[in-house]
Structures are given as structure tokens and as C-alpha cells.
Structure 1
């Protein structure tokens, strides 16, 4: 089969303005709950896009860990590439795709670090192996083989025992959104797209052509 012949005719649902919440964070939470309750393999997985100092975009998958009234929270290594790019330009984009619901959410916003106390609290809620992994991995650095990670993992496991401190180079970001786009697949590629824009501290909704 040729790639150009692969296509799906979406027909799961429709988007009507009257059914949407006035606040896009509320609408996002509704869709997220439906994705979690549905058949999605990784409902909290989102593509995070950043831009480096040369204007080159970079995208990777991260996991959403909290939604607050201020925005969306994820955690990472502050010494990695994504953190360096956020330090250079903290305007970022997020993308969720929930295949079983034929839905997509695009978010643009501004990222900033969460309070250290919040990062510490979340770090200690993680499984022990994940805590050790945060110490063992020199994120984004070149390594000679996977054995390097195994050696580091064993080293920190022996060093810390049952009490693992949060690494100083690890923590969270919160993305404060300025736009949300809710996309619902529709037949014949006539998809529904509803855009929320934060204008003078008010969310304004518009419909976009697919």
C-alpha cells in the first residue's frame, strides 16, 4: 500500500460552540477526563515544542502531571536541551492527540519553573526507580552506551539507600496558556476547530476552517 492511500474518515463527534465551556482550561479538563476514561494508551502524553537560539524548533513527548487554574505542569531535567531552550525563549507549544476520540488540542503559552517546594513534593511521590533515574541520567549528553546509565543507577542506589533527595537540576515547569485550539475530526476532512484566545484577560472563542 502506498502511504498516500492511507487515510481515515473521522466521524466520532462534532463541536458546537454552545456546548463548549467559557474557560478553555475547564473544557480541556473535560476532554482529558474522557481520554483517561477511554481507550487512550497515554492520555497525558503531550508533544512539547521549543525553539533554540538559532530559531530551530524542537519537539518531544513529555507527560502532563497537573492542571491548575494557572496552567499545565510537567517535570524534567533542568540541565537538558528543553530546559536550555526554555531559558532562551520561554514561549512554547503543547499538543495532545487522543486517537480513539478523534480529538486534538493545541496549546500555546509561556513556561516558567514551578516553586522548588512543589517540585520536591512531586519528586518524593514518584516511584523509587524514577527518583534514581533522575540522578542517573545526564539528560541530553552524549554517552558511550546504555551501560553508563546502569552503572550510574547502581551507584546512586547504593549512595542514597531508601532516602533519595531531589536533584538540584530537576524540577517542574508550568505553561500558562494564551491560546487553546480544540480539534474534532469530521467526515470528508471538514474538521471542527474552535480557537480560544486570551485577549485583555478574557477568553474569546472563534471557529477556524479546517
Structure 2
């Protein structure tokens, strides 16, 4: 019975972790109440001090996992020092988890422009107004900055130079599925050149 359930989830037969991730994400889009693309993103300083926060993953394909942020934020600064990161997707209602780790590079400016201008006007204003991770004196200061930019740019809002896109190219992708009696199913895909090595792990 367990093998049948696993096969329904694609775990047993999967050979391509990106295709399996996309399948699981589609399941999450139908089963999670809020933000199925939300992911914990871990970065660290050059000397190994870690930090983690939730971000929204904005695309996953054979190139990697995309996300966007202010390059002057804590995560942007840390990625500048140490361009490696890890992600953890947790879909609680589906009892599934995916862990990803690898190297991070910046996305081309044209791709970032295209995504920035696909966002709502208020989201664009918020990105332009926020000095992310820096001390903010009051909520009123932030709202005032948004109002000033709204007046300054009645039409298209230019993407701030500090607002960038990143691509995490996975070297390891691990899939976890809840099992009865904590006998979970875990499969690890490790990049081997242009191919992937798949191994089952103890829970």
C-alpha cells in the first residue's frame, strides 16, 4: 500500500527533481490556503553566521529557483559575501517538504525589469520606498515615502537599481513525505554533472 501511495506522489519513479518539484508545487497550489510558493530561505555571512526568513519563490525550472529582493537587505548583503543558499518548502496540509541547496547568481536586469513591472502598482511603490532591513523610525515615515513616490511617478515606476533578482541553482534537492509512525519517505537528488543521482534516506 505504501508503494502505491508513493507512486501517486511521484516519489518512487521520479528521475528529474525539478519535474517532481513542479508536480508537488501544483498539488500545493490546490491544497494550501496561503502562498504555496512561500519558502524559508537561508543565507549566511562569509564567516558562517546563518540567517533565515520567508520569501516567495517566483519560478522554478531547469535553471533553478527564482526570487527577488533588495540587494542592500540582510539576505542581499549575505549573498554578496557568500553566494550559496538553502531553501525549505513546507506544505503542512499535504505533509510534504522539499529542501534545496546550491549556488546563487543574479538574474539579468531585463528579467528583473519584466517581473518588477508585472507586480501591482502598490507593490512596486513599496519596493521602491523600502530601505529593507534598515532601522525605520515610524510607520508614518514609510507611508510618507510611498506617497512621495506616488506623486513623483504618476505613470510607470522605474525599478530601483537595488531591487534585484536571484537564481538558486540546486546541487541537492531532497523530498520528504510524512509516513505513519514517523516512518517518513525521504529521497535525495544530488547533481552529478548534467545528471542527477537519486538515493533513499533513512527518515
Higher RCO, 1 vs 2 (CA within 8 Å, ≥6 residues apart): 1
How far is the alpha carbon of 1:14 from its aligned partner? 4.7
Q: Does 1:135 align with 2:142?
A: no
Q: Unaligned 5+ residue runs, structure 1?
A: 1-10
Report if aligned partners of 2:100, 2:170 keep a CA contact under 8 Å in 1.
yes
How far is the alpha carbon of 1:21 from its aligned partner? 2.2
Q: What's the counterpart of residue 58 of structure 1?
A: 51
How far is the alpha carbon of 1:86 from its aligned partner? 0.5
Q: What's the counterpart of residue 80 of structure 1?
A: 73
TM-score of the aligned structures, taking structure 1 as reference length: 0.90
TM-score of the aligned structures, taking structure 2 as reference length: 0.93
Mapped partners of 2:122, 2:72: distance in 1: 20
How far is the alpha carbon of 1:113 from its aligned partner? 0.5
Mapped partners of 2:29, 2:13: distance in 1: 19
State the Cα deviation string for residues 123-173 of structure 1 (Å, max 9, x = none): 110000000001111001011111111110001111111221111100210
How far is the alpha carbon of 1:56 from its aligned partner? 1.0
Mapped partners of 2:114, 2:72: distance in 1: 20
Once structures 1 and 2 are overlaid, which stretch shifts more, 37-46 or 126-135? 37-46
Report if aligned partners of 2:32, 2:91 keep a CA contact under 8 Å in 1.
no
1:40-51 map, 5 Å? 40-51=33-44
Aligned residues: 199
Q: What's the counterpart of residue 153 of structure 1?
A: 146
State the Cα deviation string for residues 1-24 of structure 1 (Å, max 9, x = none): xxxxxxxxxx9x953587432110
Give every structure 1 segment of 4 or more consecutive aligned residues whose post-TM-superposition deviation is greater than 4 Å.
none
| SS of equivalent to 1:15 | helix
1:34 to 27, 30, 38: 27
Q: Does 1:144 align with 2:137?
A: yes
State the Cα deviation string for residues 46-82 of structure 1 (Å, max 9, x = none): 0000001331110000001111220010111111110
